[in-house]
Amino acid sequence: MTSSVVARLKQKKIAELVSLGKRLDERGLTDYREVQVEIGVIEKAEGSARVRLGKTEVLVGIKIEIGEPFSDIPNEGVLTVNAELVPLASPTFESGPPNENAIELARVVDRGIRESKAIDMKKLCIEPKKKVFIVFVDVYVLNHDGNLIDASALAALAALRNTKVFNYEVKEGEVQIKPGYKSLPIRNYPIAVTFAKINDILAVDPWLEEEQVMEARLTMTIEKDEKICALQKGGTGYFTIQQILEAAKIARQKAAELRKLVVKK
Protein backbone atom coordinates (compact mmCIF):
# COMPACT_ATOMS: atom_id res chain seq x y z
CA MET A 1 0.00 0.00 0.00
CA THR A 2 2.59 2.53 1.06
CA SER A 3 5.49 2.75 -1.26
CA SER A 4 8.18 5.37 -1.65
CA VAL A 5 7.65 5.46 -5.39
CA VAL A 6 4.60 7.06 -6.96
CA ALA A 7 3.76 5.90 -10.44
CA ARG A 8 4.39 8.52 -13.12
CA LEU A 9 0.75 8.38 -14.16
CA LYS A 10 -0.39 9.05 -10.62
CA GLN A 11 2.13 11.90 -10.27
CA LYS A 12 0.75 13.43 -13.42
CA LYS A 13 -2.83 12.99 -12.21
CA ILE A 14 -2.05 14.62 -8.84
CA ALA A 15 -0.43 17.61 -10.54
CA GLU A 16 -3.21 17.98 -13.10
CA LEU A 17 -5.92 17.90 -10.46
CA VAL A 18 -4.16 20.56 -8.39
CA SER A 19 -4.11 22.84 -11.44
CA LEU A 20 -7.89 22.46 -11.53
CA GLY A 21 -8.14 23.27 -7.82
CA LYS A 22 -8.90 19.65 -6.93
CA ARG A 23 -7.09 16.82 -5.22
CA LEU A 24 -6.90 13.07 -5.58
CA ASP A 25 -8.47 12.53 -2.15
CA GLU A 26 -11.29 14.95 -3.05
CA ARG A 27 -10.20 17.71 -0.69
CA GLY A 28 -10.06 21.36 -1.67
CA LEU A 29 -6.67 23.10 -1.87
CA THR A 30 -7.06 24.66 1.58
CA ASP A 31 -8.66 21.68 3.34
CA TYR A 32 -6.95 19.65 6.00
CA ARG A 33 -7.49 15.93 6.25
CA GLU A 34 -9.53 14.75 9.21
CA VAL A 35 -7.72 15.67 12.43
CA GLN A 36 -8.06 13.70 15.64
CA VAL A 37 -6.38 14.72 18.88
CA GLU A 38 -6.17 12.44 21.90
CA ILE A 39 -4.45 13.58 25.08
CA GLY A 40 -2.99 11.74 28.06
CA VAL A 41 -2.32 8.52 26.17
CA ILE A 42 0.90 7.62 28.02
CA GLU A 43 0.45 7.61 31.81
CA LYS A 44 4.15 7.50 32.67
CA ALA A 45 4.91 10.62 30.67
CA GLU A 46 4.27 14.00 32.31
CA GLY A 47 2.27 14.91 29.23
CA SER A 48 1.33 13.19 26.00
CA ALA A 49 -0.86 13.43 22.93
CA ARG A 50 -1.54 11.46 19.81
CA VAL A 51 -2.57 13.26 16.65
CA ARG A 52 -3.98 11.65 13.55
CA LEU A 53 -3.94 13.70 10.38
CA GLY A 54 -5.62 11.45 7.87
CA LYS A 55 -3.41 8.37 7.99
CA THR A 56 -0.45 10.24 9.42
CA GLU A 57 -0.05 9.45 13.08
CA VAL A 58 2.26 11.13 15.57
CA LEU A 59 2.70 10.54 19.28
CA VAL A 60 4.35 13.16 21.47
CA GLY A 61 5.52 12.43 24.98
CA ILE A 62 6.74 15.07 27.43
CA LYS A 63 9.19 14.23 30.18
CA ILE A 64 10.27 16.69 32.84
CA GLU A 65 13.58 16.49 34.64
CA ILE A 66 15.63 18.71 36.89
CA GLY A 67 18.91 19.95 35.47
CA GLU A 68 21.21 22.90 35.00
CA PRO A 69 20.15 26.03 33.07
CA PHE A 70 22.16 27.49 30.19
CA SER A 71 24.75 29.94 31.49
CA ASP A 72 23.42 32.83 29.37
CA ILE A 73 19.85 32.45 30.68
CA PRO A 74 20.38 31.25 34.27
CA ASN A 75 16.84 31.94 35.48
CA GLU A 76 14.86 30.05 32.85
CA GLY A 77 13.95 26.44 32.24
CA VAL A 78 15.23 24.50 29.25
CA LEU A 79 13.26 23.19 26.27
CA THR A 80 14.54 20.27 24.21
CA VAL A 81 12.70 18.93 21.20
CA ASN A 82 13.70 15.69 19.54
CA ALA A 83 12.02 13.77 16.72
CA GLU A 84 12.32 10.11 15.90
CA LEU A 85 11.30 8.78 12.52
CA VAL A 86 10.98 5.23 13.81
CA PRO A 87 11.28 2.48 11.22
CA LEU A 88 7.83 1.06 11.93
CA ALA A 89 6.27 4.24 10.55
CA SER A 90 7.35 3.96 6.92
CA PRO A 91 9.28 1.66 4.58
CA THR A 92 11.58 4.62 3.91
CA PHE A 93 12.59 5.14 7.56
CA GLU A 94 15.72 3.43 8.80
CA SER A 95 16.95 2.87 12.33
CA GLY A 96 19.91 4.89 13.53
CA PRO A 97 20.59 8.41 14.72
CA PRO A 98 18.18 11.13 13.50
CA ASN A 99 18.83 12.04 9.88
CA GLU A 100 18.47 15.55 8.45
CA ASN A 101 14.70 15.14 7.97
CA ALA A 102 14.21 14.18 11.61
CA ILE A 103 16.45 17.03 12.74
CA GLU A 104 14.58 19.52 10.59
CA LEU A 105 11.22 18.27 11.89
CA ALA A 106 12.36 18.63 15.51
CA ARG A 107 13.84 22.05 14.93
CA VAL A 108 10.76 23.43 13.18
CA VAL A 109 8.52 22.19 16.01
CA ASP A 110 11.01 23.63 18.52
CA ARG A 111 11.08 27.02 16.77
CA GLY A 112 7.30 27.36 16.94
CA ILE A 113 7.18 26.63 20.67
CA ARG A 114 10.25 28.68 21.52
CA GLU A 115 9.63 31.79 19.43
CA SER A 116 5.96 32.11 20.39
CA LYS A 117 7.10 31.81 24.03
CA ALA A 118 4.48 29.09 24.47
CA ILE A 119 6.00 27.93 27.74
CA ASP A 120 6.64 30.47 30.48
CA MET A 121 10.26 29.47 30.99
CA LYS A 122 10.87 31.83 33.91
CA LYS A 123 8.36 29.83 35.97
CA LEU A 124 10.44 26.71 35.40
CA CYS A 125 13.37 28.05 37.37
CA ILE A 126 13.95 26.34 40.73
CA GLU A 127 17.20 27.99 41.78
CA PRO A 128 18.85 30.51 39.42
CA LYS A 129 22.15 29.31 37.87
CA LYS A 130 21.77 25.92 39.56
CA LYS A 131 18.51 24.08 39.07
CA VAL A 132 15.71 24.41 36.56
CA PHE A 133 13.14 22.15 34.97
CA ILE A 134 14.08 20.69 31.62
CA VAL A 135 11.13 19.99 29.34
CA PHE A 136 11.81 17.15 26.91
CA VAL A 137 9.43 17.06 23.98
CA ASP A 138 9.85 13.79 22.11
CA VAL A 139 8.08 13.50 18.79
CA TYR A 140 7.47 9.91 17.78
CA VAL A 141 6.18 9.39 14.26
CA LEU A 142 4.07 6.22 14.15
CA ASN A 143 2.71 6.32 10.61
CA HIS A 144 4.03 8.53 7.84
CA ASP A 145 1.47 9.64 5.30
CA GLY A 146 2.73 13.17 4.72
CA ASN A 147 2.84 16.50 6.51
CA LEU A 148 4.70 15.33 9.60
CA ILE A 149 5.47 18.91 10.62
CA ASP A 150 1.88 20.01 11.19
CA ALA A 151 0.90 16.77 12.90
CA SER A 152 3.96 16.91 15.17
CA ALA A 153 3.54 20.59 16.07
CA LEU A 154 -0.12 20.02 16.90
CA ALA A 155 0.65 16.93 18.97
CA ALA A 156 3.45 18.78 20.79
CA LEU A 157 1.12 21.64 21.68
CA ALA A 158 -1.65 19.28 22.81
CA ALA A 159 0.84 17.33 24.91
CA LEU A 160 2.32 20.48 26.51
CA ARG A 161 -1.15 21.65 27.47
CA ASN A 162 -1.70 18.29 29.09
CA THR A 163 1.65 18.31 30.96
CA LYS A 164 1.85 18.17 34.74
CA VAL A 165 4.88 19.32 36.70
CA PHE A 166 5.48 17.67 40.06
CA ASN A 167 5.40 19.81 43.19
CA TYR A 168 8.68 20.31 45.00
CA GLU A 169 10.37 22.14 47.81
CA VAL A 170 13.98 23.15 48.22
CA LYS A 171 15.56 22.08 51.51
CA GLU A 172 19.20 23.01 52.11
CA GLY A 173 19.89 23.18 48.40
CA GLU A 174 18.25 19.84 47.72
CA VAL A 175 15.10 19.57 45.65
CA GLN A 176 12.55 17.30 47.26
CA ILE A 177 9.56 16.08 45.33
CA LYS A 178 6.26 16.53 47.09
CA PRO A 179 2.93 14.89 46.27
CA GLY A 180 0.66 16.60 43.77
CA TYR A 181 1.10 18.28 40.42
CA LYS A 182 0.74 21.65 38.73
CA SER A 183 0.03 22.34 35.07
CA LEU A 184 2.92 23.44 32.90
CA PRO A 185 2.59 27.26 32.45
CA ILE A 186 1.45 27.58 28.83
CA ARG A 187 0.70 31.06 27.51
CA ASN A 188 0.71 30.77 23.73
CA TYR A 189 -0.57 28.31 21.15
CA PRO A 190 1.61 28.07 18.04
CA ILE A 191 0.12 26.16 15.11
CA ALA A 192 2.13 25.03 12.09
CA VAL A 193 0.49 25.18 8.67
CA THR A 194 2.32 23.54 5.78
CA PHE A 195 1.87 24.14 2.06
CA ALA A 196 3.05 22.10 -0.89
CA LYS A 197 3.68 23.85 -4.18
CA ILE A 198 2.45 21.56 -6.94
CA ASN A 199 2.34 22.80 -10.53
CA ASP A 200 3.04 26.28 -9.17
CA ILE A 201 -0.12 26.14 -7.01
CA LEU A 202 -0.31 26.00 -3.22
CA ALA A 203 -2.08 23.14 -1.48
CA VAL A 204 -2.39 22.87 2.27
CA ASP A 205 -1.60 19.71 4.31
CA PRO A 206 0.03 17.57 1.59
CA TRP A 207 -0.26 13.82 2.01
CA LEU A 208 2.63 11.51 1.21
CA GLU A 209 2.09 11.17 -2.52
CA GLU A 210 1.61 14.90 -2.95
CA GLU A 211 4.87 15.43 -1.05
CA GLN A 212 6.61 13.23 -3.58
CA VAL A 213 5.21 15.30 -6.44
CA MET A 214 5.62 18.76 -4.89
CA GLU A 215 8.22 21.21 -6.07
CA ALA A 216 8.64 22.88 -2.71
CA ARG A 217 7.25 23.04 0.80
CA LEU A 218 6.58 26.00 3.08
CA THR A 219 5.66 25.85 6.76
CA MET A 220 4.30 28.88 8.59
CA THR A 221 3.77 28.76 12.32
CA ILE A 222 1.13 31.16 13.59
CA GLU A 223 0.70 32.13 17.24
CA LYS A 224 -2.51 33.01 19.07
CA ASP A 225 -2.55 36.70 18.05
CA GLU A 226 -2.06 35.77 14.39
CA LYS A 227 1.57 36.79 14.34
CA ILE A 228 3.98 34.62 12.39
CA CYS A 229 6.50 33.04 14.75
CA ALA A 230 8.37 30.58 12.54
CA LEU A 231 8.94 29.85 8.86
CA GLN A 232 10.65 27.05 7.02
CA LYS A 233 10.99 26.48 3.31
CA GLY A 234 11.90 22.99 2.17
CA GLY A 235 12.16 20.99 -1.02
CA THR A 236 14.00 21.56 -4.26
CA GLY A 237 11.82 24.30 -5.75
CA TYR A 238 11.17 27.94 -4.95
CA PHE A 239 8.34 30.33 -4.05
CA THR A 240 7.56 33.77 -5.39
CA ILE A 241 6.96 36.64 -2.97
CA GLN A 242 3.28 36.68 -4.03
CA GLN A 243 2.91 33.00 -3.21
CA ILE A 244 4.46 33.50 0.22
CA LEU A 245 2.09 36.37 1.04
CA GLU A 246 -0.88 34.32 -0.17
CA ALA A 247 0.28 31.42 2.00
CA ALA A 248 0.50 33.72 5.03
CA LYS A 249 -3.12 34.72 4.56
CA ILE A 250 -4.36 31.15 4.32
CA ALA A 251 -2.13 30.03 7.18
CA ARG A 252 -3.75 32.48 9.58
CA GLN A 253 -7.22 31.07 8.86
CA LYS A 254 -6.12 27.46 9.00
CA ALA A 255 -4.19 27.99 12.23
CA ALA A 256 -7.27 29.44 13.92
CA GLU A 257 -9.30 26.38 12.86
CA LEU A 258 -6.69 23.89 14.03
CA ARG A 259 -6.13 25.72 17.30
CA LYS A 260 -9.76 25.11 18.25
CA LEU A 261 -9.08 21.37 18.22
CA VAL A 262 -6.42 21.71 20.90
CA VAL A 263 -7.51 24.74 22.89
CA LYS A 264 -11.09 24.01 23.85
CA LYS A 265 -12.76 26.55 26.03
Site residues (CB under 8 A) for other proteins?
71-72, 98, 100, 103-104, 106-107, 111, 114-116, 216, 218, 223, 226-241, 244-245, 248-249, 252
Which residues sit opposite 219 in a β-bridge?
194, 232
**What Rg do the C-alpha atoms of the chain give, in angstroms?**
20
Q: Which CB atom, from 35 or from 153, has the smaller least distance to other proteins?
A: 153
We find the least distance from the C-beta atom of residue 175 to other proteins, in angstroms, to be: 26
Residues 6+ apart with CB under 8 A from 242: none
CA distance 191 to 109: 9
We find the least distance from the C-beta atom of residue 203 to other proteins, in angstroms, to be: 18
We find the least distance from the C-beta atom of residue 190 to other proteins, in angstroms, to be: 10
3-state SS class at 254: helix
Q: Which CB atom, from 126 or from 228, has the smaller least distance to other proteins?
A: 228
Q: At what angle do helices 241-262 and 148-161 cross, to 10 degrees?
A: 40
We find the least distance from the C-beta atom of residue 134 to other proteins, in angstroms, to be: 16
Q: Which CB atom, from 162 or from 194, has the smaller least distance to other proteins?
A: 194
CA distance 260 to 193: 14
Q: Which CB atom, from 95 or from 242, has the smaller least distance to other proteins?
A: 242
